[in-house]
Amino acid sequence: MAKKERVSETQATQLLKANKVAFTEHPYEYLEHGGAMHSAEVLGLDPFNVVKTLVMQDQDAKPLLMLMHGDRKVSTKNLARQIGAKSVEPCAPEVANRHSGYLVGGTSPFGTRRTMPVYIEETILALPRIAINGGRRGFLVQLDPQVCVQLLGAKPVQCALAE
């Protein structure tokens, strides 16, 4: 009998298990700068259903998380306007790592080092299931997108741009 590959526990999977969230694990071969498009391709998923976790900051360098479709970009102007900030920009990788406790490319919105406001592209919430980083490079978990609202208090925004 084939043994199912188990990925080592991460902060994210520990938090999901502690909250009795149903999820499935999907390890894959990580590719530097491959991003959501690469993981979607190797796992046979629609990139629209693969959600990337972006660590961003406002004009005062206050961090926030933005959850976005794998095949879309964030309109930082629209995001800033909707959250009442003057401006929003992606954090530098080392700053993002410090805020989240994860390495860029392996950032999960679950189990971050710091509690940060979480925003989610509204259309993600209409999907039946999403694949999102499980807290390690080369590791996605699939779950109900409503978990992002229930567990993280993610606020829906509209700021998607085509890649």
Q: What integer pLDDT is reported at residue 163 of this predicted model?
A: 76
Domains of the chain, start order? 21-162 (3.90.960.10)
Do 130 and 121 form a contact (C-beta atoms < 8 A)? no
pLDDT at residue 7, rounded to an integer: 58
d(CA 18, CA 13): 8
CB 47 within 8 A of CB 69: yes
**pLDDT for res 110:** 98
pTM for the model stands at 0.94
Averages of pLDDT over each 10 residues, the chain, 163 residues = 59 97 96 94 98 98 98 98 98 97 97 97 98 97 98 98 86
- Pairing type for strands 50-58 and 160-162 reads unpaired
